[in-house]
Amino acid sequence: MTRVAITGARGRMGNLILEEIKNAPDIELVAAFDIVGLGQKVMGDVLLSDAGDLKKVLQETRPDVMIDFTVASAATDNICTAAEVGVSLVVGTTGFSPEQTTRIHRAIEDGQVAAVISPNFSVGVNVFWKLVEAAAMALREYDVEVIEAHHNKKRDAPSGTAVKTVEILRESMGLDRVVHGREGLAVRTKEIGVHAVRAGDIVGDHTVLFAGPGERLEIKHQAHSRAAFASGAVRAAGWVAGVKPGIYSMADVLAGVDPSV
């Protein structure tokens, strides 16, 4: 049985992850945190704790893994605290600055814990990234654009999934220049164009468009529901509890890599 804590338990993703945990026979919720709805029961006897008491409650409840879906600034502090007290991690939060990423990686290394960090926990997006990489290697001379669309409450842009997609394209196509949106007069150079749409309740769409002489190829993923992310995050929590310290991706979880000690 894997003992799990969750931060951001009252959020869109947090609520769905609680549902997934309820239905997972090998996962037990031992603590839940947020900054709203404090004192409510979230599951069985588990009360919603104040994120300000994170260290104390983690030490009392001794989870194996903490799942964080909050906001980048809060997540950075939450992750550092969990790593310091020896709790492994599943990090779904996106929008980290380079400085926050450095702090997180250092804390995970210093704490000697294991962490699965992914801007997207869906199986489909992890296949999408593989397809994008294969197409990019074969279409190095084509123009490439990344278009993503999300709901109007999403704070970070472009999405973490789009940022990772751009990294894959940069490496596979040898492109350095990234252009976010376009306005005014400019000639297209060797570059990756990135476009972020924010509207209504769109769960998450990502398209990579390759265009060359007389043709174009589009690779597209559309999430219909956040359940795809929640089930992946809970699967990652079960996996990360049994592996040696280090930073892993969702691709490692899906590949069934077994780096146990």
Return residues touching ligand NAD (CB under 6 A).
Answer: 7-8, 10-14, 33-36, 51, 69-71, 74, 78, 92-95, 118-121, 226, 229
Nearer of residues 98 and 213 to ligand NAD, judged by Cβ = 98
Please name the residue that has the structure tokens 């596979």: 172
Alpha-carbon distance of 103 to 96, in angstroms, equals 10
Q: How far is the CB of 39 from ligand NAD (least distance, A)?
A: 14
Sheet architecture: strand order including 204-212: 178-180, 192-198, 143-150, 204-212, 215-223
What residue number has its CB nearest to ligand NAD?
A: 11
Alpha-carbon distance of 150 to 159, in angstroms, equals 8
Nearer of residues 36 and 131 to ligand NAD, judged by Cβ = 36
Nearer of residues 29 and 144 to ligand NAD, judged by Cβ = 29
- Catalytic residue list contains 206: no
Q: How far is the CB of 20 from ligand NAD (least distance, A)?
A: 12
Q: Which of 55, 154, 206, 244 is catalytic?
A: 154
Nearer of residues 229 and 239 to ligand NAD, judged by Cβ = 229
- Catalytic residue list contains 154: yes
Nearer of residues 92 and 193 to ligand NAD, judged by Cβ = 92
Tell me the residue type at 192.
Answer: I
Q: How far is the CB of 81 from ligand NAD (least distance, A)?
A: 10
Q: Which of 150, 164, 206, 221 is catalytic?
A: 150
Q: How far is the CB of 205 from ligand NAD (least distance, A)?
A: 13
59 Cβ contact partners less than 8 Å away, ≥ 6 residues apart: 85
Q: How far is the CB of 145 from ligand NAD (least distance, A)?
A: 22
Alpha-carbon distance of 118 to 100, in angstroms, equals 15
Give the residue numbers annotated as catalytic, written as ranges: 150, 154
